[in-house]
Structure 1
Amino acid sequence: MSRFHALIPAAGSGSRMGGERPKQYLELNGVPLIAHALSALAREPRVDRLVVVLSPDDAWWDNYDWSAWQERLQVLRCGGAARAGTVLNGLEAMAGWCAADDWVLVHDAARPCLPAGALGRLLDIAAHDPVGGLLAVPVADTLKRADPDCRVEVTVPRAGLWQAQTPQMFRHGMLRDALCAAASDMTDEASAIEQLGLRPKLVESDSRNLKVTYPQDLRLASLILEHLHD
């Protein structure tokens, strides 16, 4: 039977946050941001292993206590210059013990509020899909495309549009092949799978699964975490 592994790319600097500390180590409710992502994934008993891919020169990881997940946690210091490279390097390093048909759930280190129900739903649905899938939410707001002067060029119909989230879940071998063939600036794994001519399954999530990108997002994430398990 295929196993489930979580891969968290954490080699970036989070430059849009504007701080000296890499974003994944910013404090959120008393612990680093990435600890919340690990905790959310670890609550799902079907996830066998938690794989964190760091930059080779990461100087922050060893400053924290990760013993809560030590039996399932594997740290790889082989991150690349961009997300796609980090994920691919992680998959290559996993190849020695991860079967080609095992499922890999790639999850952002900066998504601390992953609801257990959404994660369980992804595993339930995507595990029975020939391609795999990702968490996403239907776009609710009206979308505008801007011109170079930051004026509205056109209103984009939102029907059928979804906002991609993570985890994004695909077979190890398929995702490895897709990223080997993909452009280095690929921003999510589903895009690489799509370039193979495949159509990943969209599994509905909700807005609580936000990605912390700007300083104000930390305050919102803190509030969500306070009530996430109510």
Structure 2
Amino acid sequence: MLSNQQPQLIAVVPAAGVGSRMRSDRPKQYLKIHGITVLEHTVNKLLSHKLIGKVIIAISENDEYFPKLDLARNPDVIRVVGGGERADSVMSALRYVVNHFSTEWVLVHDAARPCFQLSDVDTLIDASFKNHIGGILASPVTDTMKRGDTSGRIEHTIDRRDMWHAFTPQMFKVKLLFNALSGALDSGVSITDEASALEWSGTKPELVKGQTSNIKITQPEDLALAAFYISRDKG
């Protein structure tokens, strides 16, 4: 049983990226939807979950935008210095968790995914507690999948059976993820999400079906879609 000072779950949000594909004057996590930054939408929603007590945000050392947000003065939000790659930022946050908290589980969530559903997080938490390893929110692929060649032409069609789109949050035991991610990075393995580090270590995380509205903002047109989903959920 955790003490009153120890949160049941901690969420890690890597937010050191620059989001160059957005063609904006600032990183995408600081673009606004309905007058609030994407990062604020994401973090405030995480903190609204009954089991998440703290959010650790990994941002770049010279970030000029975060100190201006109310999040910077929220006692449940902790800032750590992120790295050049997503995995480096997650490792920085995990080190803080290991050194300051005794909580067993951690969730990692993209800063640019403000449209996730708390009910999906509930399902992910329940599944992780039951399988004792963890899992990720994901959605089965429904589109026809093509593999292209180096010239931009179709090489062949990929069988979409058993293929999933990976979302976040991704939830794992702290020590399990820390060891897998640090081992993968030390070995020079390319890590695109936390589950890939677990896969590299020989562990098979669970796929937990989530809603397809859990989009990641990567292109300018994604802002309008995210604004729609956020308005729909509030309505």
- Residue in 2 that maps onto 1:102: 104
Distance 1:176 1:229 in 2: 36
Which residue does the alignment assign to 1:43? 48
Tell me which of 55, 62, 67 is aligned to 2:67. Answer: 62
SS at match of 2:70: coil
- Residue 220 of structure 2 corresponds to 215
- 1:86-126 deviation per Cα after TM superposition (whole angstroms, max 9, x unaligned): 10011112222223x61110000000101111111111111
Find the counterpart in structure 2 of residue 22 from structure 1: 27
Alignment RMSD (CA, Å): 1.5
Q: Is the 8 A contact 1:84 1:184 kept in 2?
A: no
The CA distance in 1 between the partners of 2:19 and 2:190, in whole Å, is 16
Q: Distance in 1 between matches of 2:224 and 2:10?
A: 30
CA contact (8 A) 1:104 1:170 kept: yes
**What SS does the aligned partner of 2:99 have?**
coil
Consecutive aligned runs of 4 or more in structure 1 exceeding 2 Å deviation: none
Q: Which has the higher helix share?
A: 2
Q: Quote the offset at 1:141 in angstroms.
A: 0.5
Mapped partners of 2:125, 2:75: distance in 1: 21
Judge which range, 123-132 or 84-93, deviates more: 123-132
Deviates more, 1:156-165 or 1:184-193: 184-193
Q: Secondary structure at the match of 2:132?
A: coil
Alpha-carbon distance, 1:42 to partner: 1.4
Match of 2:58 in 1: 53
Following superposition of structure 1 onto structure 2, how do residues 1-230 of structure 1 map, counting pairs within 5 Å?
1=1, 3-66=8-71, 70-76=74-80, 78-99=81-102, 102-182=104-184, 183=188, 185-230=190-235
Return the letter of the residue paired with 1:75. R
Distance 1:219 1:44 in 2: 25
1:41-68 CA distance string (max 9 Å, x none): 112110121111111111110122227x
Within 1, Cα distance between the matches of 2:163 and 2:101? 34
CA contact (8 A) 1:85 1:184 kept: no
Within 2, Cα distance between the matches of 1:215 and 1:72? 30
Structure 1 distance, partners of 2:234, 2:157, is 37
- Confirm or deny: 8 A CA contact 1:84 1:185 kept in the other structure: no
Q: Which runs of 5+ in 2 are unaligned?
A: 3-7
For the Cα contact (< 8 Å) 1:144–1:153, is it kept in 2?
yes
Count of aligned residue pairs for this structure pair:
227
Inter-partner Cα distance in structure 1 for 2:191 and 2:54: 25
Per the normalisation by structure 2, the TM-score is 0.92
